[in-house]
Chains A and B, each alone.
Chain A
Amino acid sequence: MRKILILQFLFFHLATTNLLSQDYSILSIAPDLLVNSNAIVRNEAIEVSILAVDKMRIKTKRVVSVLNQNGDQHIQAYDFYDENRKIKDQRVIVYNSRGEVIDKIKQRNFDHRSLHGSGTLFSDNRLSYLNYTIKEYPITIAYESVVETNSTIFIQPWKPIENYNLSVERASYRFVNPNAIPFRFEQNNFQELDFDKNNSDSELFYEVQNISAIEHEVLSPDLSSFLPQVYVALNEFALVGVQGKASNWKELGKWQYDYLLKGKTALPQETVVMINNLTANAPSEREKAEIVYNYVQENTRYISVQLGIGGWEPMHAKDVDELGYGDCKALTNYTKALLESLGIPSYYTVVYGGKKNNIDPEFASMQGNHVILNLPFEGEEVWLECTSQSTPFNYLGDFTDDRKVLKITPEGGEIISTPNYSTEVNLKKSFSEILLNEDGGFSANVTCENSGIPYGDIYGIRNLKEDHQKIYYREKWGHLKELEIAEIVFENDRDSVVFTENLKIKGVKLASKAGNRLLLPLDFLPAKFFSLPRNQARKLPLVIQRGKTYKDVFQYKIPEKFKIESIPDPFSIENEFGKLFFKASITGIDGTQLKVERLLVLKEGNWGSSKYNAYRKFMNQIRSFTNQKAVLVSN
């Protein structure tokens, strides 16, 4: 995959690129860089200077030519600021397609706003951004800024290409460390590139030129897994004025424990007594932990408030106890405190929540965006997601499964992995009894069981209002015409983590008329498959992040006036991507019933780009073989 990046990697020591001397006309862009691109980074120069352990200056120059509206997002003429991060300068020069200056915007004409989504109640982060109307594309916007902060624990990494449909003419990164504070750096995904390496104790400099745009392809790996990046971290650093030293995960975890976590687990005596009473009769530590988890779910709620040492410090457990709310750090620490009061050890664990993304085991720095709790019992690691009021005990789901995480212990940090939900565990099982009538309409009882990842995908439905649940099913089963839902009953088995949907439904024209025959589709509930576009020149690998197993049985009862004229032959395929088994059989004493068994396994995996067309063929096979019909003829 890296071969697709035509990188020319150059290494300079002192050369500084002069923004003003460059020709920014669109005509001067190499034709290769215009292919598939919405914007071109003409010249980006980032300079990070460590002025002291607690003082860092970031100078950014970023010149972007935007070819169309979709390229607007790449201009990135903004910076964040808060109490500890100050913007010293910001300015913009705008060039037309011929490279002539058409506008200049000073810092005072930037707009400001608070920075958080609707999910966050409060955060003191703010954004200072350019608000500019583009009159005509292409256009080139040169942004320059200087930002200073007292936190040196996060050093802006270098990611010269960050998105699809963006090419790079030239981008450079300089890390200046005049006081020669010991530091580490890591360069990823440069392996197959031809470049020299010559770094000193006080400086790093990287530059790339002429990288063509990458186009997005379905089911492809995350960009960050194959694009070049440089990460830098100081061994002596400061976080909002709090200084520290660390050069590996053990030390950085120890520092986080000592400065951010330690001494925050004290609880009021009555809470300790109460939790002891609650768990007094539980025979094992695991069961006690389950009671504690339920208690937290019943008595707290999640609120995102990003405050305290740059948003990295949890609230005290006693405050959560009193207020009954907190963010992920606070609620995890609170659960930990309750467990601690019972003598059950547990560990605050930092993770990237969302799409699968590892805490880099090789490079210790402040990483992650979420916190969960790890309980090491004998022979079993238990994981708790403390921000949810409804997740079952020891269920992580697709938000934090199968990735490397940082477990923080009083002795230091440790990189471990969260559990993977296997193809067999991710099971969706259904059984439907379908009573067909003479007009082709039907009534049916449907039962679906969801475990593993599918559990997490569906269980929230029980909280919807009934008419919204009905709309959900009408959308999901849009192929069932005039679907009416007489009854919905859910069973949420939190202990074994199975969510069961029981529905009584009816609809019309399931079987379509063809003369005196009825064509009966045998995919009462359609099989899962990806609708993949043709692509003869697939570039990126094919990735299926999580495997899933689908087992379905459809039991049709045929109306009296009809008999079954024909059914399709059984069918079975198995390949590296998974498995499909499909069988229709006539059952019942007088042949009035039709049973369809269908097993579909879609495995997780990472295959080379050349496998794409084989995978697409597999998907088409699933579609056409499960979509077959039985023919009923009237007597």
Chain B
Amino acid sequence: MKHFYFFIISVLSVCLLQAQNYKFGKVSKEEVLEKVHPKYKEANAAILFREHRVYYDLNQNTGLSLVTEVHERIKIYNKEGLKWANKTISGYQNGTERDDIGNIKGYTYNIEDGKLVDEKLRNNGIFNEETNKYILKTKFTMPAVTEGSVIEYKYTITSPFTTSIDDVPLQFEIPVKRLEAEIKIPEFFGFRMHYNPKSPIIFPINKSTETFTYRYTQKSRTGQRVVSTDYDQRSIDYLLNNYDFKRNDIPPLKKEMYVDYLQNYAAYLRWELKYTQFPDSPVENYSRTWEGVAKSIYNDSGLKQEVNRTNFFDKDIDKLLSDTKDRTGKLAKIFNYVKNKITWNDFIGFRAESGIKSAYIKGAGNTGDINLMLVSMLRYAGFEANPVLVSTKSHGIPIYPTRNGFNYVIAAVETQDDFVLMDATDKNVAIGELPNRAMNWRGRIIREDGTSDWVNLMPTVKSENITMLNMQFDDDMVLQGKLVRKLNGLHAKKFRDDYAGLAKKDYIPVLEKNKGNIEISDVTISNEKAIGKIIKQSYNFELKNAMEIINEKIYFKPMVFAGLTENPFKGKERNYPIFFDFPSSDSNTINFLIPEGYEVESLPESAIVDLKNGAGVFKFVVALNGKFLRIESSLDLNNIVYSSLDYEGLKNFYSEMVNKHSEAIVLTKS
């Protein structure tokens, strides 16, 4: 609703604006003289005008190519805005064909002695670079740019890759005064347009069609000895689908801390190819349902063959399972066998890159090699195992059904009413757990007959982190204590990811960090290597300066280093959702013996705080029993995704926890 009013206002204000001349080279003195953006005072730069044109060019010699023309006029308000005077244009190459980035023209406009002067972008400011096998870059830097300059440039990308149209950006980190985009697609290409669903603003696009006639000359030769050549004037009529966008005053993308890919939230247009139909050719269908996508991946990408290959490992598996009868035992044995035998080569993909047989022999492979091998071995052992297609966190959530929507594969065993998910590329996950990268969106399980279904990939079971501290002051008022901690599920996995393999002497400094003047000794860790088992950790500690004696009273924060001292949510508000890695239950129990000769004067009060109807609970329970003080503090987070609307509540929830954890007890001499 807010946006709606905003647009009405912006539409009205447009009418009042003086008409600008946006022709290339027609930069006005007023534009160069402008000191700050009239509406977004904090803007370091602004796009005064941007025109983005996409069309197909049918050339008789070179055939069809996709042309993108961009014209930009940018105002630099201050030194922070100078980086907008450097431009990088990326292109694609694939060994035989490459994008051509050319027709670069640019001028910088300044006011000198009251006059508008321009400086041309010359070749010495343009650099071409072959970044790697696939990516080409053309970079240029505009001359004579200072605070206040207006720069203007245009360029053209001519691409042989006609079936993919790049995203058309509609929003930037700086405000845009006028944006025009025009995409003309001949009917041969059935593209469907999508908005970015993550962007909070959607701009309407005008769609129209026109007919277009393409005239060409056809040469035909006849005769055997005396060759006569006929030039035939021919033409085809076809439909052109036009997408047209013109808008004034587009707000900048709001930058927030801790958002990695700000561009993911920008408004843009994305183009999905549904079919092609060239004259005199049949329709080639690219359009998909998720069912169709899954089926085509299964059949065409080799998944079907790979998961049914068994002959190279059958003897090994027979031997492995020879004295295991129960299914759980067999499952565990096969999972561990794959994890130990094949190392992940850090490449992702649903395809078996090397082929599972060769990966088996080499002992290394990508996610496809490893998890399809797992499926195949499980099937061999009699399990109903199937591959599950996944899109990783960094890959995001696809907007429409496309093969590119998936980039990863895991294995699943179907039981009567559930799926058990497995990923053997991560040595530290147990059966039923996934690495962080795979816990995204939902997965598509593909059964042997080619049918498929959605599978939940998000963890639903709470992982626990249970800590118990027993402590008391010695005669020198040094706090002596013992900590015992148990971690299960993804807490245990995280511990293994971070610390497994760390020598004990290196682990002590890690433990002592940020705990004040502490000495930790007698560290024991059990089950560190036994994936899937609860990790048990214990150590003794000696903490100096843990309390203060003022006027014969002892002031002491009983949560010591186990308390939360800072609220992790510091921003005032948030526009984007908040993600936690997994549902979690964290508890700390403090058992404290009141020192000889002292008694309790005051204690923190017990409290229970609820987050959003049970999405989270914080409990803080204080109990004194003679000389024994017991404090139980627990935090349960049941949901892992919170919308930006929940931010305030989440922040207050944590704030309460910080308060409780920083309260002191007061002891007086008895």
Contacts and interface: CB of A to CB of B under 8 A. Distances in A.
Interface string B580-598: 0000000000000000000
A519 B555 contact: yes
A122 interface: yes
B638 interface: no
A513 interface: yes
Interface string A77-113: 0000000000000000000000000000000000111
Nearest to B605: A513
B551 interface: yes
B146 interface: yes
A113 to B, nearest CB: 5
A243 interface: no
Q: On chain B, which size bracket covers the interface?
A: 35 or more
Interface residues of A, number: 59
Interface stretch (A44-52, A156-164, A597-605, A623-631): A623-631
A301 interface: yes
Contact of A474 (B119, B555, B570): B570
Interface string B74-86: 0000011010011
B509 A534 contact: yes
Interface in A127-155: 133-136
B606 interface: no
B456 interface: no
Interface in B344-359: 345-347
A514 B662 contact: no
B139 interface: yes
Interface stretch (B122-130, B199-207, B233-241): B122-130
Contact of A514 (B143, B659, B666): B666
B658 A298 contact: no
A493 interface: no
Interface in B383-423: none
A465 B255 contact: yes
Given A114-B129, A519-B664, A629-B548, A136 B343 contact: yes
A299 interface: yes
B79 A389 contact: yes
A298 B364 contact: no
A303 B553 CA distance: 63
A566 B550 contact: yes
A533 B512 contact: yes
Interface string A601-635: 00000000000000000001001100111010000
B666 A121 contact: no
Nearest to B132: A113
Interface string B127-155: 10111110000010101111100000000
Contact of A324 (B80, B145, B666): B145
A323 B119 CA distance: 8
A624 B478 CA distance: 14
Nearest to A533: B509
Nearest to A464: B80
A298 B662 contact: no
A631 B550 contact: yes
Interface string A502-545: 00000001001111110100000000000101100000000000
A479 interface: yes
A537 B127 CA distance: 54
B257 A566 contact: no
Contacts of A16: none
A470 B364 contact: no
A565 interface: yes
Contacts of A509: 659, 662
Nearest to A568: B550
A21 interface: no
Given A299-B146, A482-B655, A114 B130 contact: yes
Given A479-B565, A482-B655, A68 B501 contact: yes
A48 B12 CA distance: 73
A411 interface: no
B139 A122 contact: yes
Interface stretch (B27-35, B445-453, B513-521, B523-531): B513-521
Given A465-B255, A629-B548, A301 B145 contact: yes
A134 B347 CA distance: 12
Nearest to B666: A514
A390 interface: yes
A262 interface: no
A565 B551 CA distance: 9
Nearest to A315: B124
Contacts of B659: 481, 509
Nearest to A629: B548
A471 B571 contact: yes
B13 interface: no
Given A112-B132, A325-B143, A629-B548, 5 more contacts: A122-B129, A468-B257, A481-B659, A509-B662, A534-B508
Interface of A: 68, 111-114, 121-122, 133-136, 298-301, 303, 305, 319, 322-325, 389-390, 463, 465-468, 470-471, 474-475, 478-479, 481-483, 509, 512-517, 519, 531, 533-534, 565-566, 568, 620, 623-624, 627-629, 631
Q: Which 3 A-B pairs have the closest CB atoms?
A: A515-B602, A133-B345, A135-B364
